[in-house]
Structure 1
Amino acid sequence: MGLGLLPLGLALGVLITHAGLPWWCASLFTAVVYAGSFEFLLVNLALAAAPLAAVALAAFLVNVRHVFYALSFPLDRVRRRLGKAYGTFALTDEAYALTTGDRARSWSGARILWLQLFMHLYWVGGATTGVLLGSVVPDSVTGLDFAMTALFAVLALDTVRERHGDLPTPVLALLSALVARVVLPGQLLLSAFILFTATLLVRSRAASKKEPKEEPRA
């Protein structure tokens, strides 16, 4: 996963260079913000000198999914408060995907924190290297801003393969995105999240009704 984050960080650093922002923005964004998909968006927001309120709203819409991650992220294995604080801060899509799989059920809290720390270092190092080497990458190179989307697609495919019995969930996610794209294209992300959450609630309620009720014991 770290080797996958390294080229993504390089792509972000190159984008920051081509955008004309100072080189230290790459290190600052990746070390302090540490929200990959939002950092790609933050480059355009910084160029447009967007108001802080607009930046805060964009950050909320892009990262609100982390609220749902926290429900099943194994933070209870981390003992110290400082470790819990960093584990919460460094809860990324990649960290969640790795620590909630079947192979991670026996991982200790220390191993989870070290995993998050190394991914953080890969991200910061990749972006810093990318911004320093960005001047040698021609402006004609396209597709760098699609790097994060490609990573999400790979993570989604891996999850579907691992949980092959839960095919309706990604289908509902795809349908929610398509409906939001057609009905509310200007608010695609928020409307897709709301629609997907609503469909999951309906599905959960329907499944609970189908479960056989236990007969009272005599």
Structure 2
Amino acid sequence: MNSAPGGTLPRPVPPPTPAAETNACDTNATETNAAETNAAETNAAAPTARNDLAAALRDSSSVGLGLFPLGIAFGVLVVHAGLSWWWATAFTALVYAGSLEFLLIGLVVAVAPLAQIALTALLVNFRHVFYALSFPLHRVGGRFGRAYSTFAMTDEAYALTTGRQARSWSGRRIIWLQVLCQFYWVAGATAGALFGALVPARLVGLDFALTALFVVLAVDAYRARRDVPTPALALVCALAARFLFPGQMLLAATALFTAGLLARRALTRHRTPAPKESARA
């Protein structure tokens, strides 16, 4: 037989095996499925954000009915105290501390020292230290989101986000809820300050909106849990603080209520028998 130059014949290239073709098809199918999954997740992100906003709007609607008129009352008080209207917007947007803002009106008008203002803020808002123990901040993502959520952790936001119905809420839903609550407050205060001259200075009952708001929140909490001892304990602590510490009722009532809850939990745990260990085989 004649041989090719070099003494050897070139080896023919084997045709692709069915297994190689199958692997190539599987790889292409996997890449296609991954691309479709990423596209589906991207398309679903916007509706999810809209759903969180719509849900937060529903969750905060009852709170808004109390915050907006209370904000109007605050704005009216600001302009009637002799301050410019923009002070109401600045207080509600930058301080955002509810009852402290009402106290700040008199402190600012009297040009109180910063040390007195700082001490007042500490005493009035010290309850937020206890709020932080159970507020679902771990669900909120991002440094900016957590920073704002901490800043906007008001009584109303805490009451709504720590209930049993809020255990499945996402971080975006919590953020939207807090944004809407602050929007109601800022919008009401700005409107009250702008049109404060049209409102009588001795308008009676407008400041009761805050009390009515917390009554509604308490009723909703009772309907969700049907726990009679907790609201009864809160009422007893409020009455005791009213007569024993009239100058610092809110702080005293919060401290008494917290101590009562801790004592109740300790007694309940002591009375509840420990589960028996299963017998070893």
TM-score, length-scaled by structure 2:
0.71
Q: CA deviation at 1:134?
A: 0.2
Superposed, 1:119-158 pairs within 5 Å as 119-158=181-220
Counterparts of residues 187-202 of structure 1 (less than 5 Å): 187-202=248-263
Contact 1:40 1:145 in 2 (8 A): no
| Residue in structure 2 matching 1:41, options 94, 98, 103 | 103
2:129 matched residue in structure 1: 67
Residue 208 (structure 1) aligns with = 269
Task: Structure 1: give runs of 5+ residues left out of the alignment.
Answer: none
Aligned residue for 2:133, secondary structure, equals coil
What SS does the corresponding residue of 2:84 show, helix, strand or coil?
coil
What is the 5 A alignment of 1:19-34? 19-34=81-96
Q: Which residue of 2 aligns with 1:178?
A: 239
Normalising by structure 1, we get a TM-score of 0.90
Does structure 1 retain, via aligned residues, the 8 Å contact 2:92–2:189? yes
Q: 1:55 aligns with which of 108, 117, 129?
A: 117
Query: What is the SS of the residue equivalent to 2:188?
Result: helix
Tell me the CA shift for residue 100 of structure 1.
2.3
Aligned residues: CA RMSD: 1.9
Query: By how many angstroms is 1:30 displaced?
Result: 0.4
Secondary structure at 1:16's aligned position in 2? helix
Q: Which runs of 4+ in 1 moved over 6 A?
A: none
Pair member with larger Rg: 2
Identity %, equivalent residues = 62
Residues 11-60 of structure 1, C-alpha deviations (whole Å, 9 max, x = no match):
11111111111211101100000111221222222233333222222222
Residue 112 of structure 1 corresponds to 174
Matched residue type, 2:84: P
Gaps of 5+ in 2: 1-62
Where relative contact order (Cα < 8 A, 6+ residues apart) is larger, the structure is 1
Q: Say how many residue pairs are matched.
A: 217
CA distance in 2, matches of 1:163, 1:185: 31
Structure 1 residues 191, 73: CA separation in 2 closer, same or farther (over 3 Å shift)?
closer
1:53-99 CA-partner distances (Å, limit 9, x unpaired): 22222222222222222222222111211111111111112222222
